[in-house]
Chains A and B, each alone.
Chain A
């Protein structure tokens, strides 16, 4: 069985500040990990994915995430938040023979001016 835990359902940062969204996973085999973003009234869009090629993964819009096996984590970061980053972010995992993604409960990011 696999699962994803996202710590913090709401995160608020100031424009220009560091963004850190936390994701921990549980998987019996090496996982495939994803971050998706959902802007208001839009569908989900892939930000980045980890498929074992490199532990530090760079995605769109300046986001990146680091896979840490020892911590079973895949936290999402961005050095400097922009107002346009306000959205809901979902971490997801697949693997262990299950192709469908298992999603975390999501983190809503607010960016204050």
Chain B
């Protein structure tokens, strides 16, 4: 597609329920990133995929959070047993693979606003 697409755009869930957030990266982008943005705060890194492997998942806050990616395509971020502290905007970004450690521009989706009540 033309840009990074995330769904749903908004999600309200009850505390304790599981939620699944979806990200469709730009076609051909091998790198995919998930970030979390709490109200009034900066972006918090969650996980990075290169292809369908995750060389860096150091930002996942707890074992309730997991993510997977199918090939160089769709990624899903799953939050189990949601807590009120999980309320945030979850942002997905994708980029082409750099060389020699260089990063390239990351293109962001509009995000999924998750509210846990």
Q: Do A and B come from one complex?
A: yes
Number of A-B contacts (CB under 8 A): 58
10 contacts between A and B (CB under 8 A): A32-B102, A34-B105, A46-B106, A49-B105, A90-B43, A95-B103, A100-B59, A101-B43, A104-B42, A105-B41
Across the interface, which residues of B come within 8 angstroms of A46, CB to CB? Answer: 105-107
Q: Is A103 an interface residue (CB 8 A)?
A: yes
Residues of A within 8 A of B (CB): 32, 34, 36, 42-46, 49, 51, 90, 92, 94-95, 97-106
Asked if B42 contacts A105 (CB within 8 A), the reply is yes
B1 at interface, CB cutoff 8 A:
no
Instruction: Evaluate contact between A42 and B110: CB separation under 8 angstroms.
Output: yes
Contact across chains for B45 and A102 when beta carbons are under 8 A apart = yes
Q: Which residues of B contact A (CB under 8 A)?
A: 4, 31, 33, 35, 41-45, 48, 50, 56, 59, 91, 93, 98, 101-103, 105-111
When C-beta atoms are compared, the residue in chain A nearest to B48 turns out to be A100
Residues in A whose Cβ lies below 8 Å from that of B91: 43-44
Which residues on B sit within 8 Å (CB–CB) of A44? Answer: 43, 91, 93, 108
**A90 CB contact (under 8 Å) in B42, B56, B59:** B42
A contact residues around B107 at 8 Å (CB): 46
Tell me, rounded to whole Å, the shortest Cβ–Cβ distance linking A75 to chain B.
17
Tell me the minimal C-beta distance from B71 to chain A in angstroms.
18
Do B42 and A98 touch across chains, with their CB atoms under 8 A apart? no
Instruction: Tell me if A99 and B98 are in contact (CB < 8 A).
Output: yes
Does A100 lie within 8 Å of B108, measured CB to CB? no
Please, which residue of chain A has its CB at the minimum distance from the CB of B4?
A43
Contact B105 A95 (CB under 8 A): no
Q: Using A32-B102, A51-B102, A106-B42 as known contacts, say yes or no to A101 and B110 having CB atoms under 8 A apart.
A: no
How far does the alpha carbon of A83 sit from the alpha carbon of B56 in the complex, in Å? 39
Contact of A99 among B35, B41, B43, B103 (CB under 8 A): B103
How far apart are B70's CB and chain A's nearest CB, in angstroms?
Answer: 20
Q: Which residues of B contact A103 (CB under 8 A)?
A: 35, 42-45
